[in-house]
């Protein structure tokens, strides 16, 4: 793999993680808002569609990455999204974070890495 | 977690369903994919897998799991629901082991055990909150 290819791969990989996290945050916002405003409210629908688009993008980027790398190399990244989404939910959605939640998420991430390595 | 409906509409139960649907769909996708993989020239598009009934069942299950997931998001904080939804990393290997006779290496069993431990750590405070309600 050339230097350019490596840079592109890292970039795709970063965008894949960002779109996954962003998609889940948008979906959460939409569904939370739907309790107060109803699902058909234009603002809620916009958030929902944006979430689905973001997750769709992450889906195809995942396939693109899978075409270039082994699943066992790439899958541990899926594990890392657990910790990132937990932290992102705390930062952007102001969800309460406990020490148990952080330790639990870290353990799940570590477990996923082990599962996918073997 | 405010005013969450009970019984069948209980978001925690729907989270369990979501994980089960994902597990079933992954297993069926593998079944359908291996059933249809031997068609020369087209194998990389994955499109010919649509001739398998398993693939259609799997697609239905993916849609069901998504519906469950957005319902779960309505009531459960993302920072709790998302880690818990990763129970599929335990269920999918187990399902492959039981239904597809795939091998699980000792290292993978260790990984599965650590994921279960993490799930328990995340779920324990949640169980306490639910008890108080």
Rounded CA-CA distance B107/B114 in Å is: 11
Question: What is the structure's pLDDT at B61?
Answer: 96
Q: Tens digit of pLDDT for each residue in B76-97?
A: 999 999 999 999 999 998 999 9
Task: Classify residue B87 by its DSSP letter.
Answer: T
* pLDDT interval class at A55 (50, 70, 90): very high
Question: What is the structure's pLDDT at B115?
Answer: 95
Q: Among A84, A108, A109, which would you mutate to test the B interface (most chain B Cβ atoms within 10 Å of its Cβ)? A: A108
Question: What is the structure's pLDDT at B41?
Answer: 63
Rounded CA-CA distance A44/A10 in Å is: 33
Q: Give percent of chain A above pLDDT 90.
A: 58
pTM score = 0.86
Is A71 within 8 Å of chain B by CB? no
Above 0.90 for ipTM, yes or no?
no
Task: Classify residue A69 by its DSSP letter.
Answer: S
Question: What is the structure's pLDDT at B39?
Answer: 59
* pLDDT interval class at A39 (50, 70, 90): confident
Rounded CA-CA distance B123/B127 in Å is: 6
Please report the residues numbered 45 through 64 in chain A whose beta carbons come closer than 8 angstroms to any beta carbon of chain B. 48
Rounded CA-CA distance A49/A27 in Å is: 8
- What are the CA-CA distances from residue A99 to residues A24, A90, A96, B20, B122 (Å)? 22, 12, 10, 28, 10
A97, closest residue in chain B (CA to CA) = B79
Q: Within chain B, which residues score under 70 in pLDDT?
A: 1-4, 37-45, 129-133
Question: What is the structure's pLDDT at B33?
Answer: 80
Rounded CA-CA distance A86/A107 in Å is: 13
The alpha-carbon radius of gyration of chain B (Å, integer) is 17
Rounded CA-CA distance A118/A80 in Å is: 17
Question: CB A89 to CB B111 under 8 A?
Answer: no
Question: CB A89 to CB B105 under 8 A?
Answer: no
User: What is chain A's mean pLDDT, rounded?
Assistant: 89
Question: What is the structure's pLDDT at B5?
Answer: 72
- Both tokens of B61, joined, read 């299950």
């Amino acid at each position: 793999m050339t230097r350019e290819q490596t840079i592109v791969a890292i970039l795709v990989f970063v965008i894949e993680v960002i779109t996954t996290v962003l998609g889940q945050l948008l979906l959460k916002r939409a569904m939370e808002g739907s309790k107060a405003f109803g699902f058909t409210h234009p603002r809620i629908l916009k958030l929902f569609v944006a979430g689905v688009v973001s997750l769709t993008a992450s889906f195809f980027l995942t396939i693109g990455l899978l075409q270039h790398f082994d699943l066992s190399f790439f899958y541990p990244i899926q594990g890392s999204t657990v910790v990132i989404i937990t932290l992102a939910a705390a930062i952007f959605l102001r969800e309460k974070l406990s020490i148990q939640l952080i330790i639990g998420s870290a353990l799940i991430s570590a477990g996923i890495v082990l599962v996918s390595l073997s | 977690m405010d005013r969450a409906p009970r019984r069948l509409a209980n978001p925690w139960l729907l989270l369990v369903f979501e994980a089960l649907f994902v597990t079933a769909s992954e297993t069926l996708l593998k079944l359908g994919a291996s059933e249809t993989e031997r068609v020369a020239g087209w194998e990389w598009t994955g499109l010919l897998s649509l001739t398998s009934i398993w693939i259609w069942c799997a697609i239905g299950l993916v849609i069901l799991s998504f519906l469950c997931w957005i319902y779960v998001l309505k009531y459960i904080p993302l920072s709790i629901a998302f880690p818990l939804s990763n129970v599929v990393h335990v269920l999918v290997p187990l399902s492959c082991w039981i239904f597809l006779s795939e091998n699980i290496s000792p290292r993978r069993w260790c990984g599965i055990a650590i994921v279960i431990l993490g799930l328990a750590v995340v779920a324990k405070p949640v169980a306490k909150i639910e008890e108080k309600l």
